[in-house]
Structure 1
């Protein structure tokens, strides 16, 4: 988690790298892991399950609406974040539709 997080921050915000390293080395891993898992679960429930049950479950419109809500919810602040969240939203929508 530390390597992935610091590499993502290096790609998007180089001036936050020392703060990220300090946070990752001083914060207990259990509360962070629990909050990441619960947040991920609720995001998937909201952006995939509810949107897909509200719209047609296997359509491109569903994937686009789910992806749009996903990246708008995360409020990307630059172009790198925008592409990151659009890519993640599309990938997660396609995985949900394939299952």
Structure 2
């Protein structure tokens, strides 16, 4: 079982790799980290989070509102898709990438109405 500090260090690494702390809740290879981030948001909502931990997560740039996270994530993926289309002339992104997973998910949602 990972400690709070271990998860926090993993979140730092995630931010270094992705430029943000918006760990996807689904279709992410490390559900432990995404569950931990979701749990931190829940603790904050209940006003039971230690202030030192809240400050560390604030400084790292964790968004506390999941609605904001979803909005930012959608905008980031859409911008990435536009860049992909400019570079390749199409939107057929390989499904093994984070962008490809997002494009597949968007197509499924469109097909479901």
Tell me the TM-score normalised to structure 1 length.
0.38
> Between Structure 1 and Structure 2, which shows a larger proportion of helix residues?
1
Structure number with greater CO (CA < 8 Å, separation at least 6) is 1
